[in-house]
Amino acid sequence: MPTSALPILDISQLHGSPADRAALIAQIRHVARHVGFFYVTGHGVSEALAADVFRHSRRFFDLPPTEKLKIEMANSPHFRGYTPPGQEYTKGQPDWREEIDIGLELPPLDLLPGDPPWKRLQGPNQWPEAVPELKETLLHWQQEVIRVATDLLKAFALALGQPETVFESIYSGVSNQLLKTIRYPGRDQIPDDQGCGPHKDGGFVTLVRQDHIGGLQVQTDAGWIDVPPLPGSFVVNIGELLELATDGFLRANVHRVVAPPAGQDRQSLAFFLGARPDAVVPQLTLPPDLAAQTRGVERDPANPLFRDVGMNILKSRLRSHPDVARRHYGDLVALHA
């Protein structure tokens, strides 16, 4: 599959005529099954808002390290806040990027003895006092990408022969919505080119907004291919929740980010639509023609998948952020090593 052949889907067709809607559903079914990575246009997210998010994020990343570390993630048992380059890990290797992680703006839960440990994950975001505009713009962006990702999930459900609300019971309410604003330093500033190592995403779907610098790659049967920036679009990929729910008819995609060339850096915005931590991923009953094409869930002994959503989220966060794990989850680290 040549680099330029990644499909482009117009999500506005979901709200168009019956013919437009049917055409989009057919496209989604084919693309999700056979390619798995695609661009989405027609989403209705303001370009001015995107520019504001990138601009205010850049202002934060340009701050002195001491200022950025005031909201360091290691301060938060909820895995919220700033991560310096080399402090997040993929499969045990450091990712050379800096970022802010935010979730839904919620208070911490009152914990009782015997509560599942994933209940510790809920809590407030950390915001930089030096760039007060960042909070408003990122929370606005979060609302917009939740809307787009939810539309996509409805389209996936219809493409799988299900009611469009089939997943609503496990993502509505207080669900695991993760937003990252990210900066990748150039290769002259880091020891290798791993911006983010090869991995699958754990949620339903991921939306990525890229700036003008490339670096995102997806693994295919033909090897690694580039996913170049397409102005005004989101890049979409499938997460492990859809792989579990469809017994592998849909498969989460392995992808990575290579660091930008020397003398450049790269910004991106990544949003992961997840489910409620107290939910269990259902096993869908697919129509016979689709059920005949299931491949089963990929099994990786080093990365077991659980249908209990909270266990999957906690496992991922403990591995990705060992500094937070050591400081706030010392009782669990040995269980998830």
Query: Parallel, antiparallel, or unpaired: how do β-strands 37-41 and 8-10 relate?
Result: parallel
Q: In sequence order, what DSSP letters do the residues of 109-151 get, joined into one string?
A: PPP-TT--GGGGG-------TT-THHHHHHHHHHHHHHHHHHH
Q: Residue 112 contacts by C-beta under 8 Å, 6 or more apart in sequence?
A: none
> What are the phi and psi torsion angles at 299 (to 5°)?
-110, 125
Please report, in tens digits, the pLDDT of each residue of the chain (337 residues total).
344 578 999 999 999 999 999 999 999 999 988 878 999 999 999 999 999 999 999 999 999 999 999 999 999 999 999 999 999 999 999 999 999 999 999 999 999 999 999 999 999 999 999 999 999 999 999 999 999 999 999 999 999 999 999 999 998 888 889 999 999 999 999 999 999 999 999 999 999 999 999 999 999 888 899 999 999 999 999 999 999 999 999 989 899 999 999 999 999 999 999 999 999 999 999 999 999 999 999 888 878 888 999 999 999 999 999 999 999 998 886 654 4
Q: How many Å apart are CA 150 and CA 248, to the nearest integer? A: 21
The residues pairing with 40 across neighbouring beta strands, listed in sequence order, are 9, 234
Question: Strand, coil or helix: what is 219?
Answer: strand
Nearest to 268 by CA among 212, 193, 200: 212
Nearest to 5 by CA among 39, 43, 41, 42: 39
Q: How many Å apart are CA 332 and CA 337, to the nearest integer? A: 9
With beta carbons less than 8 A apart as the criterion, state whether 236 and 184 touch: no
Domain spans of the chain, in order of start: 7-336
DSSP 142: H
With the CA atoms of 233, 239, 241 and 243 taken in that order, what torsion angle do they form, in degrees rounded to the nearest 10? Answer: 120
pLDDT 10s digits, 125-158: 999 999 999 999 999 999 999 999 999 999 999 9
Q: Which helix (H) or strand (E) holds 184?
A: strand 177-184
Token pair listed for 159: 């493409």
With beta carbons less than 8 A apart as the criterion, state whether 209 and 269 touch: yes
3-state percent breakdown (helix, strand, coil) of the chain, nearest 5:
35, 20, 45
Place of tokens 């190592």: 197
**Residues, the chain:** 337
Q: Which helix (H) or strand (E) holds 41?
A: strand 37-41
Token pair listed for 212: 């003008």
Nearest to 86 by CA among 219, 259, 244: 259
Give the angle subtended at the CA of 152 by the CAs of 151 and 155, to the nearest 5°.
Answer: 90
pLDDT 10s digits, 285-298: 999 999 999 999 98
Domain 7-336 has CATH 2.60.120.330: yes
pLDDT of residue 172: 84
Question: Strand, coil or helix: what is 336?
Answer: helix
Nearest to 90 by CA among 202, 178, 189: 202
